Every structure is written in structure tokens, then in C-alpha cells.
Amino acid sequence: MLRRIVSAPVHEVAKETPLDAAPLLSEQLGRTVWLKREDLQPVFSFKLRGAYARMSRLSEEECARGVVAASAGNHAQGIAVAARRMGVRARVVMPQTTPAIKVDAVRRLGAEVIVHGDSYDAAQAKAIALCNEAGAVFIPPFDDPDVIAGQGTVATEILRQCAHSPDAVFVPVGGGGLLAGVAAAVKSLSPETKVIGVEPDGAASFAAALKAGEPVDIGPVNLFADGAAVRKAGQWTYRIAAPLVDEMIAVSIDEICAAVHDVFLDTRSVIEPAGALAVAGMKRWVEAGGPGEHLVAINSGANISFERMAHVVERAEIGAGREILFSATIPERPGAFLNFCRALGKPELTEFNYRYSSSEEAHVFVGQRMGGGRGRRDELYRRLAHAGFPVTDLTDNELARDHLRHMVGGRCPSPEREVLYRFQFPERPGALEQFLEVLAGRWSISLFHYRNHGAAYGRVLAGFLVPAADQPAFEQFLARTGYPHQAVADDAAEQFVGAPELGHGQRAVG
């Protein structure tokens, strides 16, 4: 593989990106941190390397037949640039959920775009069908030895740019093409350097492959870091990387968002969530006591839509430990609300929601900027409890972060039994209306909260009035909708949005 890597002609289209010092991250972590700036490629992603490495090996006859690829963005742009340079016809199938910024970019680069399906799997099936129909060559996004070799040139550049071998290189992982290429190069040229793969929570397909001893389909994945949202690692990538990788790390959405913020502070560049995986994993590694003084993180891409930046900023404060979320119950009597505010002190509030619940009590939801770690958070909660305001910490509660902070709390006034569910649906024009049409059935909707984060999938929190006897039929109804869903039960955030076991009152959705 090393021979393929060093002979890959990637620099005919890609550039040697800088290995930049990260002084603020270095100070924060107490290590020397370097960032490999693949976000500075002409298409703002490392994917150009692998696409061109594979296409440069096409025969004249294959070039005449043209190429087809499936991609949600970064690989597509690499294919388009490579095809334009080589004078080859390129068609790229992209899911309907792909942000317009990526579709438009591919078209501007000269490739023909075919929008099809709600997922990468559907787009890939369409691409392969096109190949079979027209005899075109399919260019895979990661599971190909030449694609892997092209990505491996990232590592040969890192080792050439370093004054001495790094102690560890952190690599973002989706299908594993970059991981396999980097691991092959690093372990051949600097075997003492650790290679550490980083995946998103909810999309850790390579770690699952290592555990199973072969690539396995992990089912529906979290799409927040869409550039790394892969259900199954590749056969080639697994075969090459499995014996060479030292460790795999999975990081949360909040950790990814905090890493985007960290990179911005050091570079004044905004990278995409998948591009920030390596920094997030490096921070987790150092916090856990991982060894090594000189650390390199690969910033793999910067293809983020403007709309998604708001969501990243919102979650970054929690991920960096600079914001806490909590709810409290306040007695409904004159002066209680003022006393609660006094007990808070003089905080820097990010959010404050108050909702009358009954003649006896009210609920408050608070977002507050606070440094100093868990100790200061616990000190605040003890102070509030001592003042007569019991607190529920919601900082790490996914329901609270996704929905509750954008709602006004309260409980359902109906005496009927209420159940809460979370849903995902493909984010495309008309998708919300279609989703509501599917849900329109015999059961009344008692709560509905949706907020567009500029991502591939929309997220909904919904409540339904379902008698206990109807629960089996209701679950069958949900299964027929085809939308991924999850019941909300025994969740600390339920006390604010309501659940049947907690009594009844008024609810308004914001």
C-alpha cells in the first residue's frame, strides 16, 4: 500500500495543505498540537485526493464510458474536479436531503447531478443502476485501494512537515478510507506513532467492525456529522486499517461542536462537524490521560451550510463545559419567583423559561453560562436546594437540548393518557407536511415541536393521546409510518413538557 500512496498523483489537482500550530489548543491541553488543514483544499475536503487517485488509473476506454458516483457532498466535489481535469463525463447521484450548497457546488464544478432518494444507500443503488445501464465506471467514496492510497498522501505530508515524528495522529472516520490510508503510511514510515480513529456517537461503524472481526451494518446512524455517517465500514478499509489502528474513540455531538469552536479560535476557520472529529477525539484522549507530547489532528473538511452553524454554536457551549441547563420547581406564591432569581446570584443567563403549572407550583427552565467544571455546577444546585428550590440537572439530557429549550413548558390539560415520542424524517421541501399527513390518524396530537437545524434529517418531539388499551395498535401504526421513532419514558425533562404520571395543567408549544 505504501508504494501506491507515494505514487498517487494527487498533487495534480490537490495541494499540499499546511500543518498549522494550534497555540490555544496546545495551551488548553498542555500538549503541542498541530492541525492538518485539509479544510483548505480547493473543494474544502481531503476527498479530492482519493477521487483523483482512483480516476487517474482509468483506461482510455473507461474514460470514454464516463464515471458515476454517489455522495452527499465531499466525494462528489472531488469527482467533479477530477473529471473536469481529465475531460471525463461525470454523473453524481446525491440524496434529496443533501444541502443545496453542496448540490450547487458540484454542478458549478461541471458534473451532472441526479438527486435521488432520502439516504446515501438509496443514492448508491441508483448510481450502480446507472453504471449497469450505461457501462460507466463507479467510483466508490472509500472502499477502494486507489481511493485509500490517495487519502494516505495526507499522512506522508504530515510526516514530511513534522520536525520529528508525532506521538499520535487523530483521524476522523466514516467509511474508513482516510483511516486506512493514514494508518498504512504512518505505520510504514513512523511505526512508533499511534494512529487513533475518531467516530461520532451513533455512527461508530468502524469500532463495531473491530469488535465483530468484520464489517457489520450497524443500522440507522446519527447524521449530525454527515460526512462520517456510515452504516458499514468498507471491506478494503477494514482489511488495511484493522491491524494497524491503535485505538478508536467515539465522541458526542456536543464534543464535536466544542471542537468546531476550538478550531475557529485557533484558525478563524469554520470546519464541518465531521471535520472536527479528530480534535474532539484528541481532547477526549488527553482528558483520559493518553500519552504523548506532540499530537496531530486532521481537519478533514469545511463543507458546512450556513444554516447549520447556528446549531453548532448552540451546542458548542455545552460541549465545552461552558453552559449548564437545569429545571426547578417554584412554589406558586407571591415573591417566590423573585426569591428564586436572587438565589441564582448574578449569572450570565442564556435562556430562562417560566411556566405556571397549577395554583401550587410553577416550572422554570434555565440555561446559564458557567465555567469551573462540575464543582461549581453542584455548588449552585446545593444553594438553590437550600433556598427551597429543588433542581433537576438537564445539561446532558438530549431531549432538553434538542427540544425543551425551544419550548414553553407545561402539562396536558386533557384527562386522557398522553405518550411522548421522538421522530426523525428526511429534511427536504414538503417533508414536514408529508410527515404530518402520515401522523394524521385516529389519535389526537397533544404536543408537537419541530426545529430546522439545517441538517439532513428533521427532528420532532410529539405527544399523542392514546388510551392504554390502544397502545399496541398505536405502536403498529407508528411502525407503518416508516419513520425512525423512540418513546420518551423516564426522562428527567418530562417534568417540564409533561407526562401522564405527573399530573395535568396547561401546555403551550413555542
| pLDDT digit string, tens, across residues 262-320 | 999 999 999 999 999 999 999 999 999 999 999 999 999 998 877 778 778 877 877 77
- Tell me which range, 200-204, 410-414, 436-440, 487-491, is most confidently predicted by mean pLDDT: 200-204
Task: Considering only residues 117 and 319, tell me which one the structure prediction assigns the higher pLDDT.
Answer: 117
Alpha carbon of residue 485 to chain centroid: 18
Q: What is the mean pLDDT of the chain?
A: 86
Task: Considering only residues 157 and 373, tell me which one the structure prediction assigns the higher pLDDT.
Answer: 157
On whether the CB atoms of residues 386 and 346 are closer than 8 A, the answer is no
Q: What is the mean pLDDT of residues 151-157?
A: 98
How is the chain split into domains, by residue range? Answer: 2-45+145-319, 47-138, 321-396, 408-510
On whether the CB atoms of residues 425 and 456 are closer than 8 A, the answer is no
Q: Is the pLDDT of residue 246 over 70?
A: yes
**Region 47-138: CATH code:** 3.40.50.1100
Task: Considering only residues 53 and 361, tell me which one the structure prediction assigns the higher pLDDT.
Answer: 53
Least confident of 153-157, 247-251, 339-343: 339-343
Q: Is the pLDDT of residue 398 over 80?
A: no
Alpha carbon of residue 165 to chain centroid: 30
Ranges of beta strands (E only) in 177-292 are 194-200, 247-251
Q: Is the pLDDT of residue 182 over 80?
A: yes
On whether the CB atoms of residues 198 and 281 are closer than 8 A, the answer is yes
- The predicted structure's pLDDT at residue 496: 56
Q: Is the pLDDT of residue 334 over 80?
A: no
pLDDT-derived band of residue 390, with 50, 70 and 90 as boundaries?
A: confident
pLDDT-derived band of residue 358, with 50, 70 and 90 as boundaries?
A: low
- The predicted structure's pLDDT at residue 502: 30
Q: What is the mean pLDDT of residues 208-235?
A: 90
Cα torsion through 448, 454, 455, 458, rounded to 10: 10
pLDDT-derived band of residue 503, with 50, 70 and 90 as boundaries?
A: very low
Q: Is the pLDDT of residue 477 over 90?
A: no
- The predicted structure's pLDDT at residue 501: 35
Rounded to whole angstroms, the Cα distance separating 401 from 316 reads 12
- The predicted structure's pLDDT at residue 510: 26
CATH 3.40.1020.10 for the 408-510 domain, yes or no: yes
Ranges of beta strands (E only) in 322-439 are 323-331, 348-356, 361-369, 391-393, 418-426
Rg of the chain's alpha carbons, rounded to an integer? 25
β-pair partners for 298: 36
H/E segment holding residue 34: strand 32-37
- The predicted structure's pLDDT at residue 508: 28
pTM of the model: 0.77
- The predicted structure's pLDDT at residue 455: 61
What percent of the chain is predicted at pLDDT more than 90?
A: 52
Rounded to whole angstroms, the Cα distance separating 72 from 103 reads 8
Of 36, 47, 102, 126, the catalytic one is: 47
Cα torsion through 71, 73, 75, 77, rounded to 10: 120
- Tell me which range, 259-263, 364-368, 383-387, is most confidently predicted by mean pLDDT: 259-263
Least confident of 114-118, 185-189, 414-418, 471-475: 414-418
Q: Is the pLDDT of residue 506 over 50?
A: no
3.30.70.260, 3.30.420.40, 3.40.50.150, 3.40.1110.10: which CATH number matches 321-396? 3.30.70.260
Q: What is the mean pLDDT of residues 323-328?
A: 86
- The predicted structure's pLDDT at residue 41: 96
Q: Is the pLDDT of residue 341 over 90?
A: no
- Nearest CA to 463 out of 508, 433, 428, 430 is that of 508
Of 300, 327, 357, 446, the catalytic one is: 300
β-pair partners for 486: 422
Indicate if 47-138 has the same CATH topology as 2-45+145-319.
yes
Rounded to whole angstroms, the Cα distance separating 232 from 297 reads 24
pLDDT-derived band of residue 93, with 50, 70 and 90 as boundaries?
A: very high
Q: What is the mean pLDDT of residues 467-480?
A: 89
- The predicted structure's pLDDT at residue 505: 30
Amino acid at 64: A
**15 is known as an active-site residue:** no
Least confident of 200-204, 336-340, 460-464: 336-340
Least confident of 110-124, 290-304, 364-378, 443-457: 443-457
- The predicted structure's pLDDT at residue 495: 55
- pLDDT tens, residue by residue, 34-87: 999 999 999 999 999 999 999 999 999 999 999 999 997 899 999 999 999 999
Cβ atoms within 10 A of the Cβ of 443, count?
A: 18
Q: Is the pLDDT of residue 454 over 70?
A: no
Q: At what angle do helices 74-86 and 47-55 cross, to 10 degrees?
A: 40
- The predicted structure's pLDDT at residue 504: 30
CB-neighbour burial class of residue 307 (10 A; exposed 0-12, middle 13-18, buried 19+): middle
Residue 132 makes CB contacts below 8 A (sequence gap 6+) with none
The domain made up of 2-45+145-319 has a fold known as Rossmann fold (3.40.50)
Q: Is the pLDDT of residue 168 over 90?
A: yes
- The predicted structure's pLDDT at residue 99: 76
On whether the CB atoms of residues 327 and 301 are closer than 8 A, the answer is no
**357 is known as an active-site residue:** no
